[in-house]
Amino acid sequence: MPVLMVINTAGLQYDDRLRKEVLSLQDLGRKVEILGLEYANRSGRTTVYDAVPATAIRLWSRGWFTRGRGVAVKTLEMYVRFLAAIMREKRDIVWCHNLELGGLVPVLAILRACGRIRQIIWDQHELPADSLLRNRAYKALYLWLTARCDRVVMANRERRDLVAAWSGGSVGERVDVLENLPDSQFATLPVEPLPSDASRWLNGSPYFLAQGGANPDRHLASLVAAVLHENLPKLIVVGPYSQRQIEDLEAMHGSDFKARVLFTGAVPQMKLTPFIDHAVASIVLYEMNSENTRLCAPNRLYQALSRGVPVVVGSNPPMADLVRGIDCGVVLRTDGADVNDVRAGLRMSAARRQRLSTAGSMRRHLAWESQAATIGRLVMIASNGERLGTISNETRLPVTRFDRR
């Protein structure tokens, strides 16, 4: 019986964590299927990654309400459609992604009791909002839901420790950490030229890269202001953005804005390397206005380092500790809110203008495959119906097994 990944995502081709988990499970000899809801809201069957079968559902309610409205109705329909698909056949593991799918857990627990599935894994890509962490009713609900999961997965140790302390220790024992590190398939992709439109726009100029930089919590305004008010390389922003953001920035900075800042829109994960490889540095900023962003573990930070590209990061503890620990870039004094602080960090990074000489060792140190024991333990718990405590976290699958991809 297969492992079923259930996810609500921007798009399967953009979800690198899902891709890595799926391919790792395949390398362990497990059959994997994906059941997903994408922002495109199209239903149908396809294959993704290494010919992994994927089924997408469509929500009719998205046509009834404008974006941001009718959330309760949309969520209820999502649950009903996901559960209808899950109940069509027996599953070994149902691996739910993100906090919003916690509503599936009670029904999945009933299906497990009836023998329709064997195990439930809840992969929490993010932390609950701070307001929920302060809410006693939510805390009780969260503890009740996690108690009905066989395992909970989180993206770094800092988040696990926070939730363990918040829960009084009851959740910590159920949590496995899978850091969002790049896999060898991504790290060893050949170096390729930039797309022609980006290359023409640069016209030979150097540039900084901001992956996902247009998201509301990434200090885009500070970064743009720092680049435009200093004799610095240009800026390429990769990831989704809104036309309103472009208009506001252009109104603020005038004609200089479009001459020095390029927005590419969304780029599939496996097409990111040309933008990374030719950058002076990758800029990774997160507002520290919530526990989730303060304790961020961004995929794009590790992606840049695996390609030998230095980074400029805010003072968020996980990022700052990593960059200081292996001397792979510049750590700002702030989280990036201070334009002068960002400007100073960019100047320092631009002055160095060198790739990381330790890229090879960092690829090994920051390798998704180094977590193979954790993934294997999760799978063996599910397939055998019991916890196998004899597997060491230091046990690793040979990296050569992953090179064939």
Q: How far is CA 115 from CA 61, 91, 95, 111, 364, in A?
A: 32, 9, 16, 6, 41
Quickly state the pLDDT bin for 357 (edges 50, 70, 90). Answer: low
Distance, in Å, from the CA atom of 35 to the CA atom of 7, rounded to the nearest integer, reads: 6
The pLDDT of residue 240 is: 86
State yes or no: pLDDT of 22 exceeds 50. Answer: yes
Residues 206-224: tens digit of each pLDDT: 999 998 878 888 899 999 9
The pLDDT of residue 362 is: 61
Q: Which token pair is 73? A: 């109705």
Weakest mean pLDDT among 117-126, 151-160, 213-222 = 213-222
State yes or no: pLDDT of 347 exceeds 50. Answer: yes
Q: Mean pLDDT over residues 115-135, rounded?
A: 93
pTM across the whole model: 0.85
Compute φ and ψ for 203, nearest 5 degrees: 55, 45
The pLDDT of residue 344 is: 94
State yes or no: pLDDT of 170 exceeds 60. Answer: yes
Residues 365-404: tens digit of each pLDDT: 788 999 988 999 888 744 444 444 433 333 333 332 323 2
Residues 6 or more apart whose CB falls under 8 angstroms from that of 147 comprise 170
Q: How far is CA 329 from CA 233, 319, 373, in A?
A: 16, 11, 30
The pLDDT of residue 32 is: 94
Quickly state the pLDDT bin for 353 (edges 50, 70, 90). Answer: low
State yes or no: pLDDT of 358 exceeds 80. Answer: no
Which DSSP letter does residue 399 get?
T
3-state SS assignment for residue 391: coil
Q: Mean pLDDT over residues 247-273, rounded?
A: 91
Q: Which token pair is 94? A: 């149902």
State yes or no: pLDDT of 65 exceeds 50. Answer: yes
Residues 6 or more apart whose CB falls under 8 angstroms from that of 317 comprise 158, 294, 295
Instruction: Decide which of 357 and 175 is more confident.
Output: 175
Q: Mean pLDDT over residues 350-367, rounded?
A: 68
The pLDDT of residue 131 is: 94
Q: Which amino acid is at 9?
A: T
**69-72: long-range contacts (C-beta < 8 A, 24 or more apart)?**
none
State yes or no: pLDDT of 13 exceeds 90. Answer: no
Q: Mean pLDDT over residues 134-148, rounded?
A: 95
The pLDDT of residue 57 is: 94
Residues 6 or more apart whose CB falls under 8 angstroms from that of 255 comprise none
Sheet holding 32-38, edge to edge: 44-48, 52-56, 32-38, 3-9, 91-97, 117-124, 151-154, 175-177
Residues 226-252: tens digit of each pLDDT: 999 888 999 999 988 888 888 899 999
Distance, in Å, from the CA atom of 358 to the CA atom of 315, rounded to the nearest integer, reads: 23
Distance, in Å, from the CA atom of 217 to the CA atom of 248, rounded to the nearest integer, reads: 16
The pLDDT of residue 173 is: 78
CB neighbourhood size of 5 (10 A): 25
291: closest CA among 156, 119, 138? 156
State yes or no: pLDDT of 41 exceeds 80. Answer: yes
The pLDDT of residue 387 is: 43
Composition of the chain by helix, strand, coil, percent to 5: 45, 20, 35
Average per-residue pLDDT for the chain: 87
Instruction: Decide which of 335 and 63 is more confident.
Output: 335
The helices-and-strands tally (H runs, E runs) of the chain is 19, 14
Q: Which token pair is 288? A: 């520290």
3-state SS assignment for residue 38: strand
